[in-house]
A and B are shown apart, each in its own frame.
Chain A
Amino acid sequence: MRPFSYAAPATVEQAVSLLEAEGSEVLAGGTDLLSLLKDDVEQVERLVALRGIEDLSGIDASGGRLRIGSMTTLQELRDHADAMAAEPALGTAIDGVASAQLRAMGTVGGDLLQRPRCWYYRRGFGLLAQGENGRSMVTEGDNRYHAIFPEGDARFVSPSSLAPLLIALEAEATVHGPDGERRVPVEALYRTPRAEGERENTLGPGELLVEVTASVGAARSAVYEVRQRRSLDWPLMAAAVSLYGEGPLVDRARIVLGHAAPTPRLAAAAGDLLAGRELTPERIVEAAEAAVEGARPMSGNRYKIQLATVAVRRALLRAAGMEA
Chain B
Amino acid sequence: MADTAEGTSVADYSWPEVDRRGQIGRRRTRLDGPVKSTGFARYPSDQNPPGLLAAKILTCPHAHARIVALDTSAAEAIPGVRVVHVIQGEGSEIQWAGDEVAAVAADTEDIARDALRAIQVEYEVLPHFVTEKHRDRAPAAQPGSERTDGDPDAAFASAHRTVEQTLGMPQMAHMCLEPHGQVASWDGDELEVHASTQAVSTLAGQFASELGIPATQVRIRTEYMGGGFGSKFSPDRWGIVGAELAREAGAPVKLFLDRDQEVSVAGSRPSAFARVRVAADEQGKLVAWDSDSWGSGGLPGTGQTPLPYVFSRLPNRRLRHTSVPTNLAGSRAWRAPNHPQACFLTMASLDDLANELDLDPIEFLDRNLEFTGRADVYREELGIAAGMAGWKERWQPRKRSRDSALQRGLGVSIHTWGGRGHASNCDVTVHPDGAVEARLGSQDIGTGTRTIVAQVLAETFGLELPQVRVSLGDNRFPQSGPSGGSSTVGGVCASTRRAAQDALREVLTRVAPGLEADPEQLTAAGGRVFVEGEPSRSMSWTEAASRIGGAPVSAQGRNPGPGRLISSGVGGVQIAEVEVDMDTGVVHVERMIAVQDCGLIVNRRLAESQVYGGLIMGVGYALFEEWIPDPVTGRLLNADMEFYKLAGLLDVGSLEVHMMTGPGYDERGVIGLGEPPVISPGAAISNAVANAIGVRVPYLPLTPDRVLDALAGRGGIA
Q: Does B59 contact A (CB under 8 A)?
A: no
Which residues A49-70 have CB closer than 8 A to chain B? none
Q: Does B588 contact A (CB under 8 A)?
A: yes
B630-A141 in contact (CB<8A): yes
Expressed in whole angstroms, the minimum distance between the Cβ of A260 and any Cβ of chain B is 14
A2 proximity list for chain B (CB < 8 A): 114
Q: What residue in chain B is nearest A119 (Cβ atoms)?
A: B637
A142-B113 in contact (CB<8A): no
A307-B117 in contact (CB<8A): no
A229-B648 in contact (CB<8A): yes
A228 proximity list for chain B (CB < 8 A): 586, 623-624, 645, 703-704
Expressed in whole angstroms, the minimum distance between the Cβ of B80 and any Cβ of chain A is 13
Comparing A14-22, A105-113, A162-170, A230-238, the segment that makes contact with chain B is A230-238
A300 proximity list for chain B (CB < 8 A): 705
Q: Does B633 contact A (CB under 8 A)?
A: yes
Q: Tell me, in angstroms, the Cα distance from A145 to B638 when the chains sit together.
A: 12
Expressed in whole angstroms, the minimum distance between the Cβ of B81 and any Cβ of chain A is 15
Q: Tell me, in angstroms, the Cα distance from A115 to B635 when the chains sit together.
A: 22
Q: Tell me, in angstroms, the Cα distance from A232 to B703 when the chains sit together.
A: 16
B643-A231 in contact (CB<8A): no
Q: Does B110 contact A (CB under 8 A)?
A: yes
A231-B651 in contact (CB<8A): yes
Per-position binary interface string of chain A over residues 1-36, scored 1 when its CB falls under 8 Å from any chain B CB and 0 otherwise: 110000000000000000000000000000000000
Which residues A275-324 have CB closer than 8 A to chain B? 300-303, 306-307, 310, 324
Q: Tell me, in angstroms, the Cα distance from A306 to B638 when the chains sit together.
A: 24
Q: Which of B584, B643, B650 contacts A226 (CB 8 A)?
A: B584
A303-B113 in contact (CB<8A): no
Q: Does B649 contact A (CB under 8 A)?
A: yes
Q: Which of A232, A233, A303 contacts B708 (CB 8 A)?
A: A303
Per-position binary interface string of chain A over residues 217-260, scored 1 when its CB falls under 8 Å from any chain B CB and 0 otherwise: 00000000011111111101000000000000000000000000
B584-A310 in contact (CB<8A): yes
B637 proximity list for chain A (CB < 8 A): 119-120, 123, 141-142
A230-B648 in contact (CB<8A): yes
Q: Does B235 contact A (CB under 8 A)?
A: no
Expressed in whole angstroms, the minimum distance between the Cβ of A194 and any Cβ of chain B is 22
Q: Does B208 contact A (CB under 8 A)?
A: no
Which residues B384-433 have CB closer than 8 A to chain A? 404-405
Given contacts A142-B628, A300-B705, A307-B704, are A98 and B638 in contact (CB under 8 A)?
no
A145-B583 in contact (CB<8A): no
Q: Does A140 contact B (CB under 8 A)?
A: yes
Expressed in whole angstroms, the minimum distance between the Cβ of A106 and any Cβ of chain B is 15
A117 proximity list for chain B (CB < 8 A): 642
Q: What residue in chain B is nearest A230 (Cβ atoms)?
A: B650
A123-B624 in contact (CB<8A): no
Q: Does B647 contact A (CB under 8 A)?
A: yes
Expressed in whole angstroms, the minimum distance between the Cβ of B679 and any Cβ of chain A is 23
Chain A CB within 10 A, most for which of B640, B645, B705: B705
Q: Which of B113, B584, B586 contacts A1 (CB 8 A)?
A: B113
Q: Does A137 contact B (CB under 8 A)?
A: yes
Q: What residue in chain B is nearest A233 (Cβ atoms)?
A: B645
A229-B635 in contact (CB<8A): no
Q: Tell me, in angstroms, the Cα distance from A311 to B473 when the chains sit together.
A: 53
A302 proximity list for chain B (CB < 8 A): 705
Q: Which of A131, A145, A301 contacts B643 (CB 8 A)?
A: A145
A119 proximity list for chain B (CB < 8 A): 637-638, 643
Chain A CB within 10 A, most for which of B624, B640, B645, B704: B704
Total contacting residues, chain B, CB less than 8 A: 35
A98-B650 in contact (CB<8A): yes
B114 proximity list for chain A (CB < 8 A): 1-2
Q: Does B631 contact A (CB under 8 A)?
A: yes
Q: Tell me, in angstroms, the Cα distance from A145 to B623 when the chains sit together.
A: 16
Q: Does A40 contact B (CB under 8 A)?
A: yes
Q: Does A144 contact B (CB under 8 A)?
A: yes
A231-B703 in contact (CB<8A): no
Given contacts A229-B648, A310-B583, are A131 and B638 in contact (CB under 8 A)?
no
Q: Does B585 contact A (CB under 8 A)?
A: yes
Q: Tell me, in angstroms, the Cα distance from A157 to B635 when the chains sit together.
A: 21
Given contacts A231-B650, A300-B705, A303-B704, are A137 and B584 in contact (CB under 8 A)?
no
Q: What residue in chain A is nearest B623 (Cβ atoms)?
A: A228
Per-position binary interface string of chain B over residues 636-678, scored 1 when its CB falls under 8 Å from any chain A CB and 0 otherwise: 0110101101011111000000000000000000000000000
Q: Does B2 contact A (CB under 8 A)?
A: no
Q: Tell me, in angstroms, the Cα distance from A301 to B704 when the chains sit together.
A: 11
Q: Which of A123, A140, A324 contacts B635 (CB 8 A)?
A: A123
A137-B632 in contact (CB<8A): yes
Given contacts A119-B638, A142-B628, A142-B631, are A306 and B708 in contact (CB under 8 A)?
yes
Expressed in whole angstroms, the minimum distance between the Cβ of A312 and any Cβ of chain B is 12
Q: Does B71 contact A (CB under 8 A)?
A: no
Q: Does B356 contact A (CB under 8 A)?
A: no
Q: What residue in chain B is nearest A224 (Cβ atoms)?
A: B584
B638 proximity list for chain A (CB < 8 A): 119
Which residues B579-620 have CB closer than 8 A to chain A? 583-586, 588
Q: What residue in chain A is nearest B701 (Cβ atoms)?
A: A228
Q: Does B12 contact A (CB under 8 A)?
A: no
Q: What residue in chain A is nearest B645 (Cβ atoms)?
A: A229
Q: Which of B110, B584, B705 contacts A144 (CB 8 A)?
A: B705
A230-B628 in contact (CB<8A): no
A230 proximity list for chain B (CB < 8 A): 588, 648, 650-651
Given contacts A119-B637, A141-B633, are A307 and B584 in contact (CB under 8 A)?
yes
Chain B CB within 10 A, most for which of A117, A137, A302, A306: A306
Q: What residue in chain B is nearest A138 (Cβ atoms)?
A: B632
A142 proximity list for chain B (CB < 8 A): 628, 630-631, 637
B704-A229 in contact (CB<8A): no
Q: Tell me, in angstroms, the Cα distance from A324 to B404 when the chains sit together.
A: 10
Q: What residue in chain A is nearest B712 (Cβ atoms)?
A: A306
Q: Tell me, in angstroms, the Cα distance from A122 to B648 when the chains sit together.
A: 23
Q: What residue in chain B is nearest A1 (Cβ atoms)?
A: B110
A234 proximity list for chain B (CB < 8 A): 642
Expressed in whole angstroms, the minimum distance between the Cβ of A96 and any Cβ of chain B is 13
Q: Does B709 contact A (CB under 8 A)?
A: yes
Q: What residue in chain A is nearest B113 (Cβ atoms)?
A: A1
Q: Tell me, in angstroms, the Cα distance from A228 to B619 when the chains sit together.
A: 13
Q: Tell me, in angstroms, the Cα distance from A131 to B628 when the chains sit together.
A: 18
A137-B633 in contact (CB<8A): yes
A231-B705 in contact (CB<8A): no
Q: What residue in chain A is nearest B646 (Cβ atoms)?
A: A231
Which residues A127-166 have CB closer than 8 A to chain B? 131, 137, 140-142, 144-145
Q: Tell me, in angstroms, the Cα distance from A5 to B211 when the chains sit together.
A: 43
Q: Tell me, in angstroms, the Cα distance from A233 to B645 when the chains sit together.
A: 8
Instruction: Enumerate 6 A-B pairs (CB-CB under 8 Å) in ascending A order.
Output: A123-B637, A229-B624, A229-B650, A231-B649, A232-B648, A306-B583
Which 8 A-B residue pairings sit nearest by Cβ, starting from the closest?
A231-B648, A230-B650, A303-B705, A141-B632, A119-B637, A310-B583, A231-B650, A137-B632
Q: A123-B637, A137-B633, A231-B650 are in contact. List 12 more A-B contacts (CB 8 A).
A: A140-B632, A141-B630, A141-B632, A229-B645, A229-B648, A229-B650, A230-B651, A231-B647, A306-B584, A307-B704, A310-B584, A324-B405
Q: Which residues of B contact A (CB under 8 A)?
A: 110, 113-114, 117, 404-405, 583-586, 588, 623-624, 628, 630-633, 635, 637-638, 640, 642-643, 645, 647-651, 703-705, 708-709
